[in-house]
Amino acid sequence: MTDHLSRRLAETPVIMADGATGTTLFNMGLSSGDAPELWNVDHPDRIRALYRGAVDAGSDLFLTNSFGSNAARLRLHDAADRAFELSRVAAELGREIADTAGRDVIVAGSMGPTGDIMEPMGTLSHARAVEIFHEQAEGLKAGGADVLWVETISAAEEYRAAAEAARLAGMPWCGTMSFDTAGRTMMGLTAADMVAMVDRLPHPPLAFGANCGVGASDLLRTVLGFAAQGPDRPVIAKGNAGIPKYVDGHIHYDGTPDLMARYATLAADCGARIIGGCCGTTPEHLAAMRAALDAHTPGPRPSLDDITAALGGFSSASDGLDGADAPARTRRRGRSPRG
């Protein structure tokens, strides 16, 4: 049996995903530092409103409010034992909204990073990371998610652990990383590194790509980096609506709906097939993106200059793929580093 997302990918050239979860919940009164996932149980109506906002704006797929509903993150809120429950309810509420949308909408079960550093650099073992993700994945599955959606990952080790968890849960999945450090992930992965890593996974994702990071321009440079590798599977682009600013006591992202509309069509021309926003992307942005994508005639792959002309400059001169990196340090002696 083909899964829901694969069916849609076979039917349609571009699937529009959703926008921000955190930013939207803040605007509904979430306090900084509180766990958004507790609202799945405490304020289900607000979570329904969050989902409905994306669906009404034309999203074909939305993510559940379960980014941090894993045991590692919930322990901050003395709720580590509620990872399964909060994940399940996040997906149940999503199922409810999708099934009454009056059109075909995909529920993607969001899974964010654990927040811990994995061995050997850090303390989190592969086995424990798999266990943490697996518990969350089972909750999302029980709640009726169509697909698992791993996002904002920076370490290859953590991505692999999430892949393993998806396999254990018997679920199709997608996985995106955040390229926020000079065009690479915090752990130094380039777009090309990610394509190579994804290709080697025993339970590969249906689609892979980039989310969050630094602004819409950088994200599209990363998407071009994926496309240059000729990847086997569809590419996901979920960029932030500009950069965050602090206005009147709350976070405001400076990207306009018009800018995100341009970003969406450029993302399509860069080769992305699942296109959405991340932080700062409101239903208003999504509606503009929907209209632009519907009206869009596919064009040639944009150049880096086309992207900066339309969306603004990059945060770093290089993304590690253009050979412009400074030469490796000349070492005095050839001690071979770290085995």
**Residues forming the site for other proteins (CB under 8 A):** 20, 22-23, 25-26, 30, 32-36, 72-73, 76-77, 115-117, 121-122, 154, 178, 180-184, 186-188, 243-247, 249-251, 279-280, 316, 318, 320, 325-326, 328-329, 331-339
3-state per-residue secondary structure call for the chain: CCCHHHHHHHHCCCEECCCCCHHHHHHCCCCCCCCHHHHHHHCHHHHHHHHHHHHHCCCCEEECCCCCCCHHHHHHHCCHHHHHHHHHHHHHHHHHHHHCCCCCCEEEEEECCCCCCECCCCCECHHHHHHHHHHHHHHHHHCCCCEEEEEEECCHHHHHHHHHHHHHHCCCEEEEECCCECCECCCCCCHHHHHHHHHCCCCCCCEEEEEECCHHHHHHHHHHHHHCCCCCCCEEEEECCCCEEEECCEEEECCCHHHHHHHHHHHHHHCEEEEEECCCCCHHHHHHHHHHHHHCCCCCCCCHHHHHHHHCCCCCCCCCCCCCCCCCCCCCCCCCCCC
Nearest distance from residue 24's CB to other proteins, in Å?
11
Instruction: Output 186 or 309, the one with its CB closest to other proteins.
Output: 186
| Shortest Å, Cβ 282 to other proteins | 13
Q: Which residues contact 232 (CB under 8 A, 6 or more apart)?
A: 199
**Cβ of residue 120: shortest distance to other proteins, in angstroms?**
9
Nearer to other proteins, 188 or 299 (CB): 188
- Considering the complex, state which of residue 3 and residue 116 has its C-beta at the smaller distance from other proteins: 116
**Of 60 and 158, which has the nearer Cβ to other proteins?**
158
Least distance in Å: CB of 151 to other proteins? 13
Of 152 and 265, nearer to other proteins (C-beta) is 152
Q: Name the minimum Å distance from CB 170 to other proteins.
A: 29
Which residues are CB-contacts of 234 (< 8 A; sequence separation ≥ 6)? 9, 206, 207, 272, 273, 274
- Which lies closer to other proteins via its Cβ, residue 265 or residue 281? 281
Q: How near is the Cβ of 135 to other proteins at its closest, in Å?
A: 17
Query: Taking the complex as a whole, how short is the minimal distance between the CB of residue 247 and other proteins, in angstroms?
Result: 8
- In the complex, what is the shortest distance from the CB of residue 23 to other proteins, in angstroms, rounded to a whole number? 6
Residues in a beta bridge with 84: none
Closer CB to other proteins, 7 or 77, in the complex: 77
Q: 36 vs 172, which CB is nearer to other proteins?
A: 36
